[in-house]
Amino acid sequence: MKTKEKNSRSDRSPRSDKKSSSNSKSVPQTEFAALGLSPKVLAQLDNIGYQTPSPIQKKFIPIALTGRDVTGQAQTGTGKTAAFGLPILEQMDLRLPGQQALILTPTRELSEQVANELERLGPNTLKLAVCVGGRPIRKQIQSLEQGAQIVVGTPGRVIDLLFRKELNLDQVKFVVLDEADRMLDIGFRPDIEKIMKRCPTERQTLLLSATMSDEVERLAKRFMNEPERIDLSEKDVANKAIQQYYISVDADRKISLLAKLLLMERPQQVLVFTRTKRGAERLHKTFAKKLKNISVIHGDLPQPKRDRVIKDFRSGKTRMLIATDVVGRGIDISGISHIINYDVPEFCDDYVHRIGRAGRLSSVGKGQAFTFVTREQGPQLTEIEKRINMLIEKYEIGDYNPIRPRPPKNY
């Protein structure tokens, strides 16, 4: 939890510089200008080096700036935070203290990433409170008392603060449901319901989701007012940017296949997904004996450890990270060259989320995703292909065969 007053930040020029530039010619005429953003915001974008809006930003920002409700299909790493954050910063009254915007996210990590991004996008005086579980609630209460203008948090802690009467949403004008599909997966629907009831009906609601399942549509219908839909389907967002392969493998040869693949591909950074926490631990134990710079993350790890693991992966110190879905989802790292689905994901949507980590904004180029598939999992692969609306290419590894030949039928 942080209250973020940003006067101390050294990487930003003093706001007064920008304020005094009433001459609009001094505002950089980047593609952002065409989206309807004000000179002040354009100057700030220039400050932090954003030159070109991402596809979701191009489509989302002009509509959200009109005050309409908008749903956007976008994953972490596509620039979605600025897509919803900039229109909110433009429309809120930055001179007024107190909660004007509420942003709900499924995980602590994501809440913190969102807050960090808003901190970069907003003025120095912007006050943010990050209200998430696993962090001291006292400090969160303090930042609310100090007039946090934007609250970013996970539903559980937000409810807690509401019930303690430490958080008041009466003046909220903007609500964001970020990674709505994941919030529903985790079972936050009842909490979201309770929170939304406490927000004024006169508000702008923005919803971001990597997938627009029926459940997400229902959520949008329930809490939004005739939302405009921005659909950047996975074909645009994920599939084109990522080369996807599957490899047929016998279950007991998966470890040797992973070793072989790492040797061949020598990835700059690789994120390996397993289905279970135990599976992740086991894999980590096996590979930590042979490789350096390898780490594991899953929901059983204490928060400080999770923070450290993510920090090390983001900085490049860790080259191979083994993760389970729920935690892997909160990792906003866009420069990953390789994704390996050591286990086929349980749900097709998880596949989309997993591979969405590779080769996106500020990435190392085209990412690659490999999915290990056993004979029995053929139908699951087909389901995934239906979901992403394309065939995944088979990957052959030279003379190494990860599948034992079947004995002849009449044997």
Give me the residues that bind ligand AMP (CB under 6 A), please.
50, 52-54, 57, 76-82, 117, 332, 334, 361-362
Would you state the structure tokens that stand for residue 228, as one six-digit string? 């405009």
Q: Is the dihedral of CA 336, 337, 343, 346 positive or negative?
A: positive
Other C-beta atoms closer than 10 Å to the C-beta of 79 total 23
SS3 405: coil
Q: Which is nearer to ligand AMP, 53 or 359 (CB)?
A: 53
DSSP letter assigned to residue 22: -
Nearest approach, Cβ of 235 to ligand AMP (angstroms)? 18
Residue 343 burial by Cβ neighbours in a 10 Å radius (0-12, 13-18, 19+) = buried
Other C-beta atoms closer than 10 Å to the C-beta of 165 total 7
Nearest approach, Cβ of 97 to ligand AMP (angstroms)? 26
Q: Which is nearer to ligand AMP, 23 or 362 (CB)?
A: 362
Strand partners, 321: 271, 295
Nearest approach, Cβ of 209 to ligand AMP (angstroms)? 13
Nearest approach, Cβ of 342 to ligand AMP (angstroms)? 25
Nearest approach, Cβ of 41 to ligand AMP (angstroms)? 12
Would you state the structure tokens that stand for residue 300, as one six-digit string? 């059983």
Nearest approach, Cβ of 89 to ligand AMP (angstroms)? 14
Q: Which is nearer to ligand AMP, 311 or 386 (CB)?
A: 311
Cβ neighbors of 69 (< 8 A, separation 6 or more) are 204, 205, 206, 207, 224, 225, 226, 227, 228
Q: Which is nearer to ligand AMP, 61 or 131 (CB)?
A: 61
Q: Which is nearer to ligand AMP, 52 or 276 (CB)?
A: 52
The DSSP string of 319-362 is: SEEEE-HHHHTT-----B-EEEESS--SSHHHHHHHHTTBS-TT
Q: Which is nearer to ligand AMP, 46 or 385 (CB)?
A: 46
